[in-house]
Amino acid sequence: MEQHTYDNESVQELLDWAKKMVETNNYPTERFKINKCTTIIDGKHYLETLIAMISRNWENPTFHPTIEQLWEFREKWENREAHK
């Protein structure tokens, strides 16, 4: 798994990517399994929730796992899109 940084530039790029997904309706509309413990059942709500949490709390290390969760989703989604 790729090592990520939590600087402003990296986090803002990730948030911009997620916001664009919501704006263009390019998110899972059916169940989407990220890993053995996480299955998304509402892609729009999932992204909007993570965007809100990360936007307000990205500097707090307590929320770094939430940022990682969005990175993991992004990697999984982009790999899925690449293999269509």
Could you list the pLDDT tens digit for every one of the 84 residues in the chain? Answer: 567 889 999 999 999 999 999 999 999 999 999 999 999 999 999 999 999 999 999 999 999 999 999 999 999 999 986 776
Asked if 67 contacts 6 with a C-beta cutoff of 8 angstroms, the reply is yes
Q: Tell me the C-alpha distance between 28 and 12, whole Å.
A: 22
Supply the pLDDT for residue 4.
87
Each domain of the chain, given as residue ranges in start order, spans 8-82
33: β partners = 39
Supply the pLDDT for residue 80.
83
The b-or-e profile of 54-72 (16+ CB within 10 A means b, else e) is beeebeeeebbebbebbbb
For the chain, what's the residue count? 84
The model carries a pTM of 0.90
Q: Tell me the C-alpha distance between 8 and 29, whole Å.
A: 30
Supply the pLDDT for residue 83.
73
What is the 8-class DSSP label of residue 61? G
